[in-house]
Chain A
């Protein structure tokens, strides 16, 4: 995690949990949100890039999420989970973004492909990996947004299914079923795209 918090963020906040920090924000210590930003903006942004397929949109939405945290800080509950609340706001903001732009997420953002370079030594392997990532992004882009959300939350964000269920406002059992169904959908689409590429 990048951690170059400005001086405004008190180093004493390092030892506090996310929940304690958010309670402090709620009680008027707004600087505590700086530490929460440093801890979470990276994973949140990553989730939003995969969800929207667009880097610019993901940045805008992440910004809006932290803006809403400030605006609605008084609604944060004593028994809340900060991460679940953040992703709850995240998917709401993403839904608003899609509604405003009246567009489904892009299957693949070509500018993303540059970011997929990895440490594979051979150029041919690197190209294959990039292609594979692009195919997976395309497959993700073809899922329903609800399926994509549950899959990304369950794989990347280190959330329990209880928290995912709270974010999606459904039961734990329903969240599990939806996550598994989404994975099967992704597999079908991903393999189909691989076949199409080979032929």
Chain B
């Protein structure tokens, strides 16, 4: 072994990572080479001095700061998990709103139709022998009675439970041409009902009638009163789907209002772009 080879292996000898046979070879060379002995000795002394350097110990602040940071991260991670759960809940609500609720309404309507055709009593025909003028008066009276019945029914709506109100709203879906009273009651529910689900269902029930100006202006008039971001976004979607350009100023107000939920403002911004 020459000096170069021996010195190349010093580091491994110091680390104790060299095989015993190789170490013995290096030591044999050292025994016969004063230059390499000096080199080895100087390096060994330097390493010994280096290894003798005492370990510095950190102050208590390092541990304190570390655990404070860990707590903060845990809280932050918990917040993210909660936000994710909220998002999933929102997705489930959306699924209910857009797929399950209309499907349920369809099933209810079909059931109602089948029951009606099977058990409903036929409408009373005008008694034979009445003159046309009398028949018209009777028909007019019948219409008024029906209208009063509808009015009373919708007024009583507010006194029912949330699920009953929901069922009533869903029942309107099977009416292809509900009269204006039903429409205005739906708008009334959208504006005033305390339940978010009822308001959302009322809005869903109004979708088939979005072509009517009174429906669009009713939803637009209700928009500034609404506080719930979920309902607000649904109303914005409604107005945009109805291509109601009169909604643009109201949407601009929402976009500019920094106190309103960010998601709502973004929906309004998107809506404005589509309008």
User: A interface vs B, CB < 8 Å?
Assistant: 2, 6, 8, 28, 30-31, 33-34, 37, 41-43, 45-46, 49-50, 55, 58-59, 62-63, 66-67, 70, 112, 115-116, 118, 132-133, 136-137, 151, 154-155, 161, 176, 179-180, 183-184, 186-187, 190-191
Residue B67 is within 8 A (CB to CB) of chain A in the complex: yes
In contact, A66 and B69 (Cβ under 8 angstroms): yes
Chain A residues whose C-beta falls within 8 Å of the C-beta of B43 in the assembled complex:
183-184, 187
B115 at the interface (CB under 8 A from A): no
B138 is an interface residue with CB less than 8 A from chain A:
no
Known contacts A30-B74, A155-B51, A184-B43, A115 near B67 by CB under 8 Å: no
Q: Is the CB of B62 within 8 A of A133?
A: no
Cα(A154)–Cα(B49), bound, Å: 15
6 tightest A-B CB contacts, nearest first = A187-B46, A180-B11, A49-B56, A45-B58, A46-B55, A70-B73
Report yes or no: A33 in contact with B15, Cβ–Cβ below 8 A. no
Give the distance to chain B from A143, nearest Cβ to Cβ, in Å.
11
The closest CB in chain A to the CB of B7 belongs to: A180
Q: Is B31 an interface residue (CB 8 A)?
A: no
Shortest distance in angstroms between B63's beta carbon and chain A's nearest beta carbon? 7
B residues with CB within 8 A of A: 8, 10-12, 15, 17, 42-43, 45-47, 49-59, 61-63, 65-67, 69-70, 73-74, 77
Q: From B11, which residue of chain A is reached at the shortest CB distance?
A: A180
Residue in contact with A30 in the complex, picked from B42, B51, B59, B70, CB distance below 8 Å: B70
A59-B67 in contact (CB<8A): no
Complex partner residue of B56 from A45, A66, A154, A180, CB under 8 angstroms: A45
- The DSSP consensus for interface residues of chain B is helix
Q: Shortest beta-carbon distance, B83 to chain A, in Å?
A: 15
Most buried by B among A28, A112, A187: A187
- Which residues on B sit within 8 Å (CB–CB) of A151? 50
23 A-B pairs within 8 Å (CB atoms) are namely A8-B67, A30-B74, A34-B70, A41-B63, A45-B56, A45-B58, A46-B55, A50-B53, A58-B56, A59-B62, A62-B58, A63-B62, A115-B57, A132-B49, A136-B50, A151-B50, A155-B47, A155-B50, A155-B51, A161-B17, A179-B11, A180-B8, A190-B49
Residues of chain A within 8 A (CB-CB) of B57 are 2, 42, 45, 115
Bound CA–CA A45/B65 (angstroms): 14
A23 to B131, CA, bound (A): 92
Chain A nearest CB, measured from B132 CB (Å): 81
CB pair B49–A6 under 8 Å, yes or no, is no
Chain A contacts for B49, CB-based, 8 A: 132, 136, 190
Chain A proximity of B46: nearest CB distance (Å): 4
Known: A28-B77, A190-B49. A55 touches B66 (CB 8 A): no
- For the complex formed, measure the closest distance between the CB of A100 and the CB atoms of chain B, giving whole angstroms: 18
B267 to chain A, nearest CB (A): 31
List B contacts of A55 (CB < 8 A). 56, 59
Q: A59-B59, A191-B42 are in contact. Are A41 and B74 (CB under 8 A)?
A: no
Bound CA span A154–B47, Å: 11
